[in-house]
Structure 1
Amino acid sequence: MTALRPERESGADPYGGAGEQGTSDARRPYEAPGAFGEGRPGAEAYPTAGEAYHEPPAARAYQAAGEPYAAAREPYPGTEAPYTVPPYGTAPEPSAPPRYEPPADDETVALRVAGPPGGSRPASGASASPGRAAPAPHGRAARRKAARGRHGRHGGTARPGTPGPGDARESEESRPLSRVEARRRARARKPSAGVIASRVIGELFITTGVLMLLFVTYQLWWTNVRAHAQADQAASSLQDDWANGKRNPGTFEPGQGFALLHIPKLDVVVPIAEGISSKGVLDRGMVGHYGSEPLKTAMPEDKTGNFGLAGHRNTHGEPFRYINRLSPGDAIVVETQDTYFVYKMASMLPVTSPSNISVLDPVPRGSGFTGPGRYITLTTCTPEFTSKYRLIVWGKMVEERPRSKGKPDALVN
């Protein structure tokens, strides 16, 4: 609080004078004699109030000589040495070397501390000299790292004394944990029962899918590869035995090959074995003969009867895959050790029950045949990749040709 002070009287001079009404002859401080240097050497160069200004003789001499005026060439009153000021138009001498301006960076044109021209980076552990900025880091990665250290991770300016996110994380990780915190963190890292159950279920689904894919690959591809190899081996062995005279016509053992089936339209050549066993005959890529009771059928050389055959339509060699494409008149040839038996396709039953064994009768029911004859019946599953129903194809013998006379026209053409 400012102290109280008496107000000045009206007309009083604040400097101690009497003012206009005062009778004192005291002057104001700036009016005292010698306030502006009266009586000093060169005081005539500084006029008092009301006097005209006169240039000093030195100035007039310089003007006469054509030199620029320099008031500082004359000594300032009261000084011992003159203060020299360069003439007008003369550039002052540089007191410091010019500041180095680095070229614009390709990466950024923002402000940054520039290093001295031609300078080198300070050695590791050396501190920069006082008052001199440290050189900019070299390389894009170094500059980004330095920017993160100065402005934080997201470019914001960090307050002095304020710990950043990295500092807080490091301090939290470095401090020792109590038992409660350690147990809590261990429980948090341990997966819950729901997570474990979901993982187990997912692995089961993946395993099941892989197994199903492998099974489908096995059924549709590998079984055919293996069955074709076994059927080719059986056909080669049968033809070798015929050439060497080791086989004689007659009764054959289950699984024993005794003939070859040719379907020229479908490009099928497959061995015929005794029996319709899946493992012993059909799964090995061969065609099986219904030769056992209650499904016993005739042999090709019999004078009358129905020669019944069964084969896979899909997988395991699939010899009857496309017999539904046969048309009436297409050739079906059975080759034995001594004879070629040529049949012509007569009719087809697209769908029937697996229990309909009347299709194997000596005069097959539904075939269109009206009396005894020499017939052939081909049976397989339908639709494809299922065994719910049966597909039946019938044929009638039209030629019996000994092997000594060569192949029939159906195999030659």
Structure 2
Amino acid sequence: MWAPGIVHHGTRRRRAAYRRVVWSGAEVLVTVGVVLLLLVAHQLWWTNRQARQDAEHKVQALEREWGTAGTPGAAGAAPGGDDSGSGSASGSGSGAGTGDGGQDGKNGAGASTGTASSRGASSDSARTTPRWSQAYAVLGIPRLSLRVPVAEGVSKADVLNKGYVGHYKGTQQPGQAGNFALAGHRNTHGEPFRYLPRLRRGDTITVETRSAVYTYVVDRTLPQTSPSDGGVIRPVPRSIVRPSYGYSEPGYYITLTTCTPDYTSRYRMAVWGKLTAMRPR
């Protein structure tokens, strides 16, 4: 006869088995959580640390190779005059939306000076086409305290994940007529373009090569577009997705592209500038 308070051995065994299953499941969840935390730490901290160190060493190596002592913003000391191209270069979506970034601009006096002075260096760039993934220039953005190598191509493994900025194959080289277009990570792997939205119209961008230092001035910003919007890197850059952003006349342009918003590759943003000066080494 069954009496209250008596637990059969089968019931105890089932309860013990249940506790073991719950405990094992909890251990698995904790292990998975720790692994995920380590992966996040690796992506957000270690890849940045390693890529930044590699990029800094490459900049120093290029400077030694060129026989110069690089100083942040030094190339920006060669202003080219007034750039009268109209357009908004707000780094945020709201700023670009309220500005006149969609209007077509004319090359001003500064741009003309840079254009004329860059022709000799343009032929030099054409004669020395960089090898794939070769670092051959240094991009400097004083507002962002950034000095980073520029390498040929936009391969993640060979260029971008090293903390470098990549040059879009098929676009022009520094100082050449057309569009010198670059891409860089915004998050992880050195994230050189982490603060690209902070750029404003009038900020300077320098590109140093073995033979010359080119100074561009930020002119406009496209805050958001599709990753497949190839118009932003055409010789005369103009968005295909948002045609009110861009240019309609040939010139000497630079384009900086990166993913947006943070921690996603759903969209792209672009910052455009115009060449204003060239200083031979």
Could you say whether these structures have the same fold, taking a TM-score greater than 0.5 normalized by the shorter chain as the test? yes
C-alpha separation in 2, matches of 1:370 and 1:237:
39
Letter in 2 for 1:223: T
C-alpha separation in 1, matches of 2:144 and 2:235:
26
SS class of match (1:340): strand
SS class of match (1:192): helix
Picking from 245, 252, 255, the partner of 2:130 is 252
SS class of match (1:317): coil
Letter in 1 for 2:181: G
Q: CA deviation at 1:314?
A: 0.7
Partner of 2:248: 370
Q: C-alpha deviations, 1:15-44, integer Å up to 9, x for none? A: xxxxxxxxxxxxxxxxxxxxxxxxxxxxxx
Picking from 43, 62, 66, the partner of 1:242 is 66
Unaligned runs of 5+ in 1: 1-183, 404-413
C-alpha separation in 2, matches of 1:349 and 1:207:
43
Q: C-alpha deviations, 1:103-142, integer Å up to 9, x for none? A: xxxxxxxxxxxxxxxxxxxxxxxxxxxxxxxxxxxxxxxx
Q: Does residue 1:324 correspond to 2:205, yes or no? A: no
C-alpha separation in 2, matches of 1:252 and 1:318:
23
Partner of 2:172: 298
Partner of 1:346: 219
Partner of 2:273: 395
C-alpha separation in 2, matches of 1:267 and 1:243:
22
Q: Following superposition, which runs of at least 4 residues in structure 1 exceed 3 angstroms of deviation?
A: 184-191
Q: CA deviation at 1:240?
A: 1.9
C-alpha separation in 2, matches of 1:225 and 1:392:
25
Q: Does residue 1:224 correspond to 2:48, yes or no? A: yes
Task: Summarize the alignment of residues 88-99 of structure 1 with structure 2, pairs less than 5 Å apart.
Answer: none
Q: CA deviation at 1:379?
A: 0.4
C-alpha separation in 2, matches of 1:369 and 1:396:
11
SS class of match (2:43): helix
C-alpha separation in 2, matches of 1:229 and 1:185:
64
C-alpha separation in 2, matches of 1:208 and 1:369:
50
Picking from 231, 250, 264, the partner of 1:386 is 264
C-alpha separation in 1, matches of 2:266 and 2:21:
39
Partner of 1:36: none
Which one has more relative contact order, counting CA pairs under 8 Å at least 6 apart? Answer: 2
Picking from 234, 240, 261, the partner of 1:361 is 234
SS class of match (2:67): helix
Partner of 2:108: none
SS class of match (2:187): coil
Partner of 2:114: none
Task: Summarize the alignment of residues 49-198 of structure 1 with structure 2, pairs less than 5 Å apart.
Answer: 192-198=16-22
SS class of match (2:247): coil
Q: CA deviation at 1:190?
A: 9.0
Letter in 1 for 2:42: Y
Partner of 1:337: 210
Partner of 1:206: 30
Unaligned runs of 5+ in 2: 1-7, 69-123, 240-244
SS class of match (2:186): coil
The answer to whether the 8 Å contact 2:232/2:246 transfers is: no
C-alpha separation in 1, matches of 2:200 and 2:247:
17
C-alpha separation in 2, matches of 1:229 and 1:375:
29
Q: CA deviation at 1:402?
A: 1.2
- For normalisation by structure 2, the TM-score amounts to 0.71
The answer to whether the 8 Å contact 2:132/2:152 transfers is: yes
C-alpha separation in 1, matches of 2:15 and 2:43:
40
Q: CA deviation at 1:252?
A: 1.2
Aligned residues: 212
Q: CA deviation at 1:188?
A: 5.1
SS class of match (2:275): strand
Q: CA deviation at 1:339?
A: 0.7
Aligned-pair identity (%) = 48
Q: C-alpha deviations, 1:307-330, integer Å up to 9, x for none? A: 000000011111001111111110
Query: Which entry has the higher C-alpha Rg, 1 or 2?
Result: 1
C-alpha separation in 2, matches of 1:191 and 1:212:
31
Partner of 1:270: 148
SS class of match (1:308): strand
C-alpha separation in 2, matches of 1:255 and 1:236:
17
The structure with the greater share of residues assigned to strand is 2
Q: CA deviation at 1:355?
A: 0.5
Q: CA deviation at 1:205?
A: 1.1
Q: What is the root-mean-square deviation of aligned Cα atoms in Å?
A: 2.1
Q: CA deviation at 1:206?
A: 0.7
- For normalisation by structure 1, the TM-score amounts to 0.49
Q: C-alpha deviations, 1:333-384, integer Å up to 9, x for none? A: 1011111110110111111000000111111114442211100000000010
Letter in 2 for 1:265: R
